[in-house]
């Protein structure tokens, strides 16, 4: 067995649970940081329809044989939101400069 941890990202809505190897490292901005981003593995959970027993597995391959790696969907969403906000701030700054020069 390999030691790891399961990060809890709930602010961006529903998403699939992921497993990260090693020990969690504290981060000032995000609470915990993922050191090896390409080793994040999605967790698949199976349920017994008779008794409701659950078993979870971190399987490194998807059903079609393609390796799963990279950032989680919430990390991508956050990156897109931050990039969008940066462009919006730049656009407002440029518009403000044009208004000042027009006077």
Element spanning 102, H or E: helix 73-102
Q: Considering the entire predicted model, what is its pTM?
A: 0.49
Strands 18-21 vs 25-27: parallel, antiparallel or unpaired: unpaired
CA nearest 14: which of 69, 83, 81, 77? Answer: 77
**How many other CB atoms are there within 10 angstroms of residue 33's CB atom?**
14
Tell me the average pLDDT across 78-94. Answer: 89
pLDDT single digits (tens) 48-69? 999 999 999 988 765 554 444 5
Instruction: Indicate if the pLDDT at residue 13 is higher than 90.
Output: no
Residue 25: C-alpha distances to residues 20, 57, 93 (Å): 11, 23, 37
């Amino acid at each position: 067995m390999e030691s790891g941890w399961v990060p809890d990202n709930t602010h961006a809505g529903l998403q699939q649970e992921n497993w990260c190897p090693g020990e969690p490292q504290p981060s000032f901005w995000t609470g915990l940081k993922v050191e090896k981003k390409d080793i994040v593995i999605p967790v698949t959970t199976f349920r017994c329809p008779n008794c409701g027993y659950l078993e979870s597995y971190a399987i490194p391959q998807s059903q079609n044989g393609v390796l799963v790696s990279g950032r989680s969907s919430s990390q991508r969403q956050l990156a897109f939101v931050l990039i969008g906000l940066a462009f919006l701030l730049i656009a407002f700054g440029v518009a403000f400069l044009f208004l000042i020069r027009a006077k």
